[in-house]
Amino acid sequence: MTQSIKITGGVPLKGEVRVSGAKNAATKELVACLLTSEKVTLMNVPDIGDVSVTIDMLRGLGVSIEREGDRVTVDASTLTSPEVTEAFSRKNRIPILLFGPLLSRFGTAIIPALGGCKIGARPVDFHLTALQQMGTDIVCEDGVYRASIEGGRLHGAVIELAYPSVGATENVMLAAVLAKGTTMIRNAAIEPEIKDLAMLLQSMGAIIQLDVNQTWIIEGVESLHGATHRVIPDRIEAASFAVASVLTKGDVLIRGAVQDHMISFLNALRRIGGDFEMTSEGIRVFRVGEIKPSTVETDVYPGFATDWQQPFLILLTQADGVSIVHETVYESRFGYTDALNAMGANITIHTNCLGAKACRFSYRNHPHSAVVVGPTPLKAAKIEIPDLRAGFSYLVAALIAKGTSTITGVDLINRGYERIVEKLKGLGAEIEEVQ
């Protein structure tokens, strides 16, 4: 097991790297496979910690899963248990998505509390309220949710989300495909990973469509069947490599990166002095001139994703002037900046909304805006990773820091990035794993 990663900064990244399948699509799609007793095959499934945890969790429910390279075949005809054991509590955000499949298959579901990165309170009230609207009776005792269906089958409902939550949208979708009647999800999330989930469900026999104004409409069917589906490339990983290329004055072809999924990111990159070229194989990213300061506001899709914020902020530490990052998705996602300041960055965190618009965290004392003053040379450090996306941003910071950095807590990066050390090494980075 890797104990730490050592990186010596100063090498421009050059060459090609292939983006893996998207973590936030693959994990949900594994859950969707439980909606049928027929086999479902997923291709381009990344070999990462969150996928392994999800596979183990589904196996714990009796599901048979075979993995061959990036192809995973799920046979949920052997699903025997409606109870996700405590062993999977607080490991990631996936267990709560099992409500729909387990309720549809057994009429009951027992699911432990959630985990995932510590980047805010991350409540699940939208999920629970929506499932209740669809006829689920849910109680929470000692950190365990016990759910059952009033009347034998979930029923369709008009769900109006208070915020376009990714997880809540997926949860309702997974419950609605086999529910009686039609479900409408208004103010829903429409991230590419959710569209990918919808496409898998459609391939499995669901009737599901994206309507105008961020609305999903799902007409429940009696049963779903087997399918084969290819998971979309990971736009968060793609953006992370793009940042690393621009930051190190490199030139990297990011194979498999999809322009359509990254429009906001690519605009932001161009504004600060990065550039790119679309090729038939992916996106080639490089630097033109010095990095310019900018203002970035995270948002739900199609806005600038909150998971792009951390690597992008490292770029801003090298911009000549004052930049602002307004985080509007999570109320507390700047904890990782202390370590960057210790490396020489000049980042201050503020509770005011410092973006173009006031967000829902306005006047609530959440540390959700960052002012970055640059350019600041970074020096190597020993850093402990606090969460997945911050983890990649530390790797990126170390790539330009003077000296050799040691980064611990690597398991958190392995949760979401496949063969990251090998990929960076392939681009010429001076990086090694310490066992």
The residues that touch ligand EPU, with contacts defined as CB under 6 A, are 23-24, 93, 117, 120-127, 163, 165-168, 189, 305-307, 329-330, 388-389, 416
Which one, 5 or 124, has the nearer CB to ligand EPU? 124
CA distance 421 to 432: 7
CA distance 360 to 351: 12
- The least distance separating ligand EPU from the CB of residue 56, rounded to whole angstroms, comes to 16
Of 30, 32, 35, the C-alpha closest to 71 is 30
Of 302, 306, 310, the C-alpha closest to 258 is 302
- The least distance separating ligand EPU from the CB of residue 183, rounded to whole angstroms, comes to 17
- The least distance separating ligand EPU from the CB of residue 336, rounded to whole angstroms, comes to 12
Which one, 197 or 285, has the nearer CB to ligand EPU? 197
In this chain, which residue has its C-beta nearest to ligand EPU? 167
Q: 94 with 28: CB under 8 angstroms?
A: yes
Q: 424 with 431: CB under 8 angstroms?
A: yes
For residue 137, which amino acid is it? D
Q: 117 with 389: CB under 8 angstroms?
A: yes
Which one, 298 or 318, has the nearer CB to ligand EPU? 298
CA distance 43 to 45: 5
CA distance 301 to 299: 6
Q: Please name the residues in contact with 338: beta carbons below 8 A apart, sequence gap of 6 or more.
A: none
What distances in angstroms separate CA 339 from CA 23, 79, 327, 344, one per listed residue?
26, 45, 19, 9
Of 421, 409, 272, the C-alpha closest to 339 is 409
349's tokens? 């965190």
The catalytic site residues sit at 117
- The least distance separating ligand EPU from the CB of residue 365, rounded to whole angstroms, comes to 15
DSSP annotation of 367: -
Which one, 181 or 302, has the nearer CB to ligand EPU? 302
H helices, E strands: number in the chain: 13, 23
Which one, 20 or 306, has the nearer CB to ligand EPU? 306
- The least distance separating ligand EPU from the CB of residue 14, rounded to whole angstroms, comes to 27
- Dihedral over Cα of 255, 425, 422, 377: its sign: negative
Longest dimension (CA), the chain: 65
Which one, 319 or 407, has the nearer CB to ligand EPU? 407
For residue 426, which amino acid is it? G
- The least distance separating ligand EPU from the CB of residue 382, rounded to whole angstroms, comes to 23
Q: 74 with 28: CB under 8 angstroms?
A: no
- The least distance separating ligand EPU from the CB of residue 320, rounded to whole angstroms, comes to 30
Which one, 340 or 380, has the nearer CB to ligand EPU? 340
Beta-strand (E) ranges in 271-339? Answer: 274-279, 282-287, 295-297, 321-326
